[in-house]
Amino acid sequence: MPNRIVFSDIDGTLLNPERELSEFTISEIKRIKKEIPVVLISSRMPSAMTHLQEELEIGNQPLICYNGGLILVDQKAVHSTFIPVDIIEALHVFNKEQKVHISLYHNDDWYVPKMDFWANREANNTKVSPQVKPTNEVIESWKTSNIGAHKIMCMGEENHIDTVFNFLKRNFDDILHLYRSKSTYIEIAHKNISKLTAIEILLDTHFNIPISEAIAFGDNYNDVDMIKAVGVGVAVANAKKEVLEVANAVTLAGKEDGVADYIKNNIL
């Protein structure tokens, strides 16, 4: 039966209107966690997920961060795919007038050029504080270390975001996955990774569980592949139409404890 492991998205799926875990969600995941592993899977950085793991008492489980760009097992990276630094530099040069905020992420480091409206809002949402460092200095440091970005987040007014999106699409469409989570956001990841590729890696190398026996919860475009591939893909009621169309089941909205409600009525 497809109930040997649970994967859950976070934002829009697992959290309540205060962007926190409800007592109902905490109690239901605690109820099943000894029998069924519960793995959080998100575009977030590790430290924006570990406090949720602690509340759920599932800190012993792996984390899938950056939409699959970074997989942690026992707090150690077992898989890492990042965006090359030359692409970051090209984006920085294109954005020379700084009309768009660019956040750069690698592992548990988050760099912003300044604490502007966008940085403050993201810090409030994720409960993580970034490091303030000029983008060109981050680029030079990463060149020396031969690393890149697990995620780039571009935030700004919609017309400026459209311009950056078109630039990246035109020049790096074969390398980058560009995800418009909002009209004012672009989440950028390497095209070789996804939530589904990360699930497949973990199931094969860590859990030895077939994907047909997995359940996944999600709400947004970056959840479509995993919802479609697992044994039971569950969409929350507020999910995008594309997610609802491929889901095996639809539960209550994320802000109405949809994940917990499904677990209560269908698992153990």
Catalytic residues: 9
Q: Are 216 and 203 in contact (CB under 8 A)?
A: no
Residue 236, Cα to own-chain centre: how many angstroms?
16
Contact in structure between 7 and 37 (CB atoms under 8 Å):
no
Residue showing tokens 């995008």: 240
176: left (phi over 0), alpha (psi -120 to 50) or beta: beta
In DSSP terms, which residues pair with 8 in a beta bridge?
Answer: 40, 217
Amino acid symbol at 72: L
- Check residue 97 and report its DSSP letter: T
Relative to beta strand 185-190, strand 151-155 is: antiparallel
Nearest to 198 by CA among 16, 11, 61, 41: 41
Q: Residue 2 — φ and ψ, nearest 5°?
A: -80, 60
CA distances from 32 to 28, 157, 200 (A): 7, 43, 22
